[in-house]
Amino acid sequence: MDFLKVLGIQSQNSGASTGCDWFATTDQGELKVTSPVDGKAIASVTMASSADYEKIVTTGLKAFETWRMVPAPKRGEVVRQIGLRLREFKQPLGTLVSYEMGKSLQEGWGEVQEMIDICDFAVGLSRQLYGLTMHSERERHRMYEQYHPLGLVGIVTAFNFPVAVWSWNAMIAAVCGDVMIWKPSSKVPLTAIAVQKIIKDVLTANQLPEGVFNLVVGRGSAVGERMLNDKRVPLISVTGSTAVGRHTAEAVGRRLGRTILELGGNNAIILTPDADLKLALPAVVFGAVGTAGQRCTTTRRLIIHESVYEKLQSALVKAYRGIRIGSPLDEKNHMGPLIDRAAVELYSHALEKVKKLGGKIVFGGEVLSGKGYESGCYVTPAIVEAENHWDIVQEETFAPILYLIKYTGGIENAIALHNDVPQGLSSAVFTNNMRESEAFLSHAGSDCGIANVNIGTSGAEIGGAFGGEKDTGGGRESGSDAWKGYMRRQTNTINWSTQLPLAQGIKFDIE
């Protein structure tokens, strides 16, 4: 395929790099990458060894000594150039994202656009790494705070956003003066290798030392666990399941390291009697069906007032009948495959469990086969009548299953249902009633890290901090002041007097 050639993806690729240098380790075996689109082999990756990991960390730490002393605006200039390179490769890289992961071509290109946008954001940020100045209680003293680069940052990304989430972390960390080691999902390593090759010319042109942007594709035993337990890596950013996040937090917490955890979501949209259903319908459908239900911000629950329940259900079924399922490389299709057959099994298991609990599948629920579906990864998106307290509804099933949950009474009842799940990532309410929208955004409203009014749960902009609460992990990435997570804060006091007064008026006189 032409896009593979353009991106430098060969039939066999190295899984370890310090920027421009690639390692030739072969003793860890070969990772064969198959597309969920057609079931065909794309390429293979030789996995990194423990020795490769050690070399990358050592190289990264040495590079940090140089990179941290480069002025932040000059680091921003490097990021600006990376953004320009991504613009050049938007079409082929987005196509690879689509083919390797299975999301629609529009979403694949959109993911690369998100990388470009975060580069632009980080360039501006490079001149705004600010600290506060505070008034000292002591005469002729100045007190302020500043932020310093943290060090070597570990970035572990998931399959559903194989490149964008890396950029959220890497571009911000880069302008902060950190160096990075990226461990991508073993389900989508080729996009990571392509990104590393895209930025190579920028690293060379700016004479950056090896080790600022590092990549390692390897087994958990050889690479992943070493990174989690490595005191030389002060921050680990992980996007994944809640189970993975718990393990990460325990391992990194034992060594008193830092984590940024972006974990599971069980996102809901509330539809009140005052909702504009024409506005809500496309938001619900995209939120539930986009990326085949494999976004952490996917809409999984609809909490619908009884007065509009039947009308909305009918409209949803009609809309779902028009969903075109097939190869994501065909721009006419709305929904591509799930990532692999294991994901299909989880989808089918969840629906079987729903039926045993008394739920009703209103639409969909089939695994597709035949021409165009040879990979065995295609399903029809499901609409299910369910109850919020069921165990299966309380879980996050990474698939296009939308649970319809009826509520009665006022907005407070809907909010209670909304918050009654372990996760707390993204949320939304559709209403034209100001009191309802303000209640949803109040201290007693949504308990999620993201709360929207009259837009859906998916499609967060990079300018705001992204992340959630409860089992979602509490981390924040991307915009706002999320940059502070990649730096160490330092409070400074300067005494420009000839006296040495102590704080709180303490006297300690010596002869």
Q: Rg (Cα) of the chain, in Å, rounded?
A: 25
Instruction: List Cβ neighbours of 495 (8 Å cut-off, separation of 6 or more).
Output: 138, 140, 141
Residue bearing tokens 């990104």: 195
- Of residues 100, 111, 114, 296, which has the active-site annotation? 296
Q: Are strands 299-305 and 152-156 parallel, antiparallel or unpaired?
A: unpaired
DSSP 187: T
Measured in degrees and rounded to the nearest 5, phi and psi for residue 329 equal -75, -10
Tell me how far apart the alpha carbons of residues 388 and 384 are, in angstroms, rounded to a whole number.
12
φ/ψ (deg, to 5) at 15: -105, 15
CB-based burial of residue 133 (10 Å sphere; 0-12 exposed, 13-18 middle, 19+ buried)? exposed
Q: Write a three-state SS string for 79-92.
A: HHHHHHHHHHCHHH
Copy the structure tokens of residue 179: 């160096």
Selected catalytic residue, list 114, 262, 395, 477 = 262
In terms of C-beta density within 10 A (0-12 exposed, 13-18 middle, 19 or more buried), how is residue 469 classed? middle
d(CA 150, CA 140): 31
End-to-end alpha-carbon separation of the chain, Å? 83
Query: Which residue type is seen at 494?
Result: I
Q: Tokens for 486?
A: 């990649």
* β-strand pairing of 133-135 with 141-149: antiparallel
Query: Residue 262 catalytic?
Result: yes
Residue 488 and residue 148 in contact, taking contact as beta carbons nearer than 8 Å: yes
Report which DSSP code applies to 218: B
What CA–CA distance (Å, rounded) separates 83 from 122?
Answer: 10
Of 34, 160, 54, nearest to 103 (Cα)? 160
Alpha-carbon span 81 to 255, nearest angstrom: 36
Report the candidate in 404, 445, 446 with the shortest Cα–Cα distance to residue 424.
446
Q: What is the DSSP track for 457-491? A: SS---TTSEE--EETT-S--EESTTGGGGGEEEEE
* Residue 451, beta-bridge partner list: 427
Q: Which two tokens stand for residue 456?
A: 């859906």
Q: Which residues contact 507 (CB under 8 A, 6 or more apart)?
A: none
Catalytic residues: 262, 296
